[in-house]
C-alpha cells in the first residue's frame, strides 16, 4: 500500500560495523586472447575480427592486435582512447553489395548497434537518454593482397558484457566543501595504465556535476605528473609530481596526498603510497594527521505499521518499538493510496509522514503528532526522503525540491511543534519531467533522482549537492549525468557510497554512480528500496506492494530474508 524514503541518517551505536566487502578489483576478470586477421579474410570478417579484438586493448595488449586490422597509416593515426561506446546485443555488419572482388580497391562497411552508454576521454560514463541505434562507418581497402581498414572513427566500440572485463572502475576521492568527508567520483579507465589515468584526472578536478560540491580553495591545475606514468614497486604506487605541489598550503598538500592514497588504494586510507616532487622531496606522510571520513554515517531501519513505528538497530534484526502509530495517522493509512504513495521519514529528532492528502503530518522523537513548521502548510508534497543527519527532503507537487533541516533538540525534551529551516530548490533538470523519487548519498554530496519524462519513460539522474562550510544545504548542481533510462522504474536507493540499486518492475539492477547497470534479483513488486545497517552489515531492504519487508546483507548476490509484514512504509534514519 505504502512507500518510504531514501537512505542516509545515522544514530550513534556501539559495536563494529561490517561494510560491504569490496570484491578485489579484477578478481573475476576473463582475459581475452584476440587473434589477428586471417589471410584472404573478406571485409565483413575483417570488421568482425577487429571488433572482437577491441576488449583486449584496454585489458592487456594496448590495442596492438586491433591495429593489425588497420592499414599501416591508419594504425598510426587511430586514437582508441578518445572515447568508449558501450552497446548491447550483437552488432549488425553490412557490406556494400558485390564489393568482394579484388579488382575493387575499397568498400564501405556499416556497423549498426544498440548503444547503451558512452565513456568520454575523462573516464566519465553517461547512459543514453533515449534508445539509440548507433552507426559506425568503416572503409576497407584492398592492398598487398589483403583487406584492411583504412578509415574509422576514433574511440572504440565494446559490448556491455565485455566492458567490465576491460575497463576498471576507479573512485577519484574529492574532499567535500566542509572538509569532513571524501566524495567518490566514479571513473572508468583502461586496466592497462589505470593508475596514470586516475592521477591525471584527479589533478584535473571533479566531474562537472560535483564541481560546486568539492573543496577547491587554493588548488590549481599547475600540479601535474612529472613523469608520464605512475609506477608500482611491489604493492606501492609511486607518484612523482611537478614542483608546483610545493606552492600548495600545508593543508592542501595533505589533502592531495590523501586523495592520491585513497584513489590508488581503492578507498583504503592506510594503503601504501610514495609521493615525491621533482626535487625528490618525499611527501608520502604529509597526510598523517588528516582525519577525513571515506563513507557517510550508518543508517538504521524505521518501519511504520497500522499499530506502531518500529526500528531495527544495526547490531541486530530485532524490531524495537519507537511508539504507537498515532490515531491521527489512522485515517491516512486507511485512505486509498492509489494516487498518492504513503511516505515516512524518521530519525532521532522525529520525522514526517504524508499520505493520500499530500499534506505532511509531523512527529516528535516518540512518534507523537506535533505541529509542523509553518512553512510546510503552503506545500503540497509528492514524496518524502531522508537526507544526512537531520535533513528531510521532499518533492513538491510543483516539481520543486524542499529541504527541511531539523533543529537538533534533546530527545528527552518535549516540543509541541517541529523546529528547523525550510529551503525550496529549483533545479534546472526539473524541467526534464516529473520528479518521482530521490535518494541522497551516504556522505551527503550527491543526489540520485528518478524522473518520469513526458513520453512516459523514466531516467535516473545523478547531480551534486552544494553545501556550505558547516555542511548545510545551499543548492543542487544544475549539471547531471544520466545513469539509466528504462520504461519502468519504481524506486532508487544508495546501497553504499558507490553503488545505486534501481528497482525495475520484477527485476533490479545495480549501477556504480556513475556506471553501467548490472541485473540482480529483487523481490517481486518491490515499490521501495533503502540501504541500512542490519546485523552489523551493510544491507538492502525492500518493501513490496503487499507490505512484506525483506532484506539482503553484505552481498547483493545473496538470498533475501523476510523481516516483517503488514508494513505501510519504511525509511532509513
Domain check: are 317 and 203 in the same one? no
The pLDDT of residue 406 is 87
Domain check: are 154 and 197 in the same one? no
Strand order in the sheet with 381-386: 381-386, 391-396, 401-406, 420-425
The pLDDT of residue 32 is 77
Q: Is the pLDDT of residue 274 over 80?
A: yes
Domain check: are 158 and 182 in the same one? no
State the DSSP H helix or E strand holding residue 197, giving kind and residue range, or none if neither: helix 194-204
Give the CATH number of the domain where residue 375 resides.
Answer: 2.120.10.30
| Chain segment 56-73, per-residue pLDDT in tens | 999 989 999 999 999 999
Q: Which residues contact 254 (CB under 8 A, 6 or more apart)?
A: 286, 287, 289, 290
Domain check: are 422 and 507 in the same one? yes
* Residue that is last in its domain, among 262, 277, 292: 277
Residue 20 grid cell: 560491504
| Chain segment 522-534, per-residue pLDDT in tens | 998 899 999 998 8
pLDDT band at 22 (very low <50, low <70, confident <90, very high): very low
Do 454 and 468 touch, CB atoms closer than 8 A? no
Domain check: are 84 and 227 in the same one? no
pLDDT band at 15 (very low <50, low <70, confident <90, very high): very low
Average pLDDT over residues 77-98: 91
| Number of separate domains in the chain | 3
Strand 236-241 with 273-277, pairing: parallel
Average pLDDT over residues 239-244: 95
Domain check: are 144 and 261 in the same one? no
The pLDDT of residue 252 is 94
Does a structural domain hold residue 282?
A: no
Domain check: are 122 and 231 in the same one? no
Does a structural domain hold residue 7?
A: no
Range of the structural domain that residue 176 is part of = 167-277
- Among 447, 480, 513, smallest CA distance to 188 is for 513
* Residue that is last in its domain, among 149, 166, 183: 166
3-state helix, strand, coil in the chain (%, to 5): 15, 40, 45
Q: Which residues contact 151 (CB under 8 A, 6 or more apart)?
A: 74, 137, 138, 139
| Chain segment 423-476, per-residue pLDDT in tens | 999 999 999 999 999 999 999 999 999 999 999 999 999 999 999 999 999 999
pLDDT band at 5 (very low <50, low <70, confident <90, very high): very low
Q: Is the pLDDT of residue 9 over 50?
A: no
Does a structural domain hold residue 296?
A: no
Domain check: are 154 and 247 in the same one? no
Does a structural domain hold residue 12?
A: no
Domain check: are 392 and 454 in the same one? yes
Strand 507-512 with 499-504, pairing: antiparallel
Domain check: are 152 and 197 in the same one? no
Positions of E strands within 120-245: 125-143, 146-151, 156-159, 167-175, 182-190, 231-233, 236-241
What percent of the chain is modeled with pLDDT above 70?
88
Average pLDDT over residues 332-337: 50
Q: Which residue has the cell 554515517?
A: 297
The pLDDT of residue 10 is 29
The pLDDT of residue 336 is 38
Do 424 and 401 touch, CB atoms closer than 8 A? yes
Average pLDDT over the chain, rounded to an integer: 87
Beta bridge partners of 312: 301
What percent of the chain is modeled with pLDDT above 90?
63
Q: Is the pLDDT of residue 40 over 70?
A: yes
Distance CA 303, CA 242 (A): 54
Domain check: are 450 and 551 in the same one? yes
Domain check: are 414 and 504 in the same one? yes
Beta bridge partners of 185: 172
The pLDDT of residue 21 is 32
Average pLDDT over residues 83-100: 85
pTM of the model: 0.88
Distance CA 66, CA 44 (A): 15
Residue 435 grid cell: 520528479
Distance CA 560, CA 573 (A): 22
pLDDT band at 419 (very low <50, low <70, confident <90, very high): confident
Does a structural domain hold residue 4?
A: no
Does a structural domain hold residue 288?
A: no
Average pLDDT over residues 195-213: 96
- Among 360, 393, 351, 322, smallest CA distance to 6 is for 393
Average pLDDT over residues 204-223: 89
Does a structural domain hold residue 360?
A: yes
Does a structural domain hold residue 551?
A: yes
Amino acid at each position: 500500500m505504502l512507500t518510504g524514503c531514501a537512505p542516509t541518517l545515522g544514530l550513534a551505536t556501539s559495536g563494529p560495523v561490517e561494510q560491504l566487502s569490496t570484491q578485489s578489483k579484477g578478481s573475476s576478470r576473463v582475459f581475452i586472447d584476440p587473434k589477428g586477421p586471417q589471410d584472404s579474410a573478406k571485409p565483413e570478417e575483417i570488421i568482425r575480427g577487429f571488433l572482437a579484438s577491441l576488449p583486449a586493448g584496454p585489458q592487456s595488449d594496448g590495442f596492438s592486435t586491433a591495429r593489425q586490422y588497420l592499414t599501416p597509416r591508419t594504425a598510426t593515426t587511430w586514437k582508441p582512447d578518445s572515447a568508449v561506446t558501450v552497446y548491447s546485443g550483437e552488432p549488425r555488419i553490412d557490406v556494400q553489395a558485390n564489393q568482394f572482388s579484388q579488382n575493387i580497391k575499397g568498400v564501405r562497411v556499416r556497423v549498426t548497434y544498440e548503444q547503451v552508454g558512452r565513456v568520454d576521454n575523462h573516464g566519465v560514463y553517461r547512459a543514453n537518454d533515449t534508445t539509440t541505434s548507433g552507426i559506425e562507418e568503416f572503409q576497407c581497402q584492398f592492398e598487398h593482397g589483403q583487406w584492411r581498414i583504412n578509415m574509422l572513427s576514433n574511440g572504440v566500440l565494446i559490448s556491455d558484457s565485455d566492458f567490465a572485463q576491460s575497463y576498471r572502475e576507479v573512485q577519484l576521492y574529492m574532499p567535500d566543501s566542509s572538509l569532513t568527508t571524501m566524495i567518490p567520483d566514479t571513473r572508468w579507465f583502461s586496466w592497462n595504465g589505470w593508475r596514470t589515468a586516475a592521477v591525471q584526472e584527479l589533478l584535473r578536478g571533479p566531474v562537472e556535476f560535483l564541481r560546486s560540491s568539492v573543496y577547491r580553495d587554493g588548488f590549481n591545475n599547475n600540479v601535474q605528473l612529472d613523469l608520464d606514468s605512475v609506477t608500482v614497486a611491489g604493492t606501492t604506487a609511486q607518484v612523482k609530481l611537478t614542483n608546483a605541489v610545493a606552492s600548495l598550503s600545508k593543508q592542501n598538500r595533505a589533502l592531495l596526498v590523501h586523495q592520491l592514497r585513497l584513489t590508488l588504494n581503492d578507498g583504503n586510507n592506510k594503503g601504501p603510497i610514495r609521493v615525491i616532487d621533482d626535487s625528490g622531496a618525499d611527501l608520502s606522510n604529509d597526510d598523517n594527521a588528516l582525519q577525513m571520513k571515506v563513507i557517510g554515517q550508518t543508517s538504521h531501519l524505521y518501519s511504520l505499521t497500522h499499530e506502531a513505528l518500529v526500528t531495527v538497530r544495526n547490531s541486530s534484526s530485532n524490531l524495537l518499538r519507537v511508539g504507537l502509530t498515532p490515531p491521527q495517522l489512522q485515517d491516512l493509512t486507511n485512505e486509498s493510496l492509489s494516487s498518492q504513495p504513503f511516505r515516512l521519514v524518521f530519525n532521532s529528532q522525529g520525522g514526517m509522514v504524508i499520505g493520500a492528502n499530500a499534506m505532511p503530518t509531523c512527529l516528535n522523537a516518540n512518534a507523537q503528532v506535533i505541529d509542523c513548521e509553518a512553512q510546510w502548510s503552503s506545500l503540497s508534497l509528492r514524496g518524502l526522503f531522508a537526507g544526512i543527519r537531520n535533513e528531510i527532503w521532499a518533492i513538491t507537487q510543483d516539481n520543486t525540491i524542499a529541504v527541511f533541516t531539523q533543529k537538533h533538540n534533546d530527545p528527552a525534551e518535549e516540543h509541541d511543534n517541529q523546529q528547523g529551516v525550510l529551503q525550496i530548490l529549483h533545479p534546472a533538470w526539473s524541467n526534464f519531467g516529473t520528479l518521482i523519487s530521490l535518494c541522497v548519498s551516504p556522505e551527503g554530496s550527491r543526489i540520485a533522482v528518478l524522473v518520469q519524462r513526458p513520453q512516459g519513460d523514466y531516467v535516473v539522474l545523478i547531480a551534486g549537492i552544494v553545501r556550505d562550510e558547516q555542511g548545510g544545504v545551499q543548492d543542487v548542481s544544475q549539471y547531471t549525468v544520466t545513469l539509466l533510462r528504462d520504461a519502468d522504474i519504481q524506486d532508487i536507493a544508495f546501497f553504499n557510497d558507490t553503488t545505486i540499486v534501481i528497482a525495475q518492475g520484477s527485476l533490479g539492477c545495480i549501477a556504480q554512480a556513475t556506471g553501467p547497470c548490472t541485473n540482480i534479483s529483487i523481490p517481486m513488486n518491490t515499490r521501495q528500496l533503502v540501504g541500512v545497517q542490519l546485523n552489523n552489515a551493510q544491507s538492502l531492504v525492500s518493501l513490496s506492494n503487499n507490505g512484506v519487508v525483506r532484506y539482503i546483507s553484505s552481498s547483493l548476490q545473496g538470498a533475501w530474508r523476510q523481516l516483517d509484514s503488514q508494513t505501510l512504509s519504511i525509511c532509513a534514519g
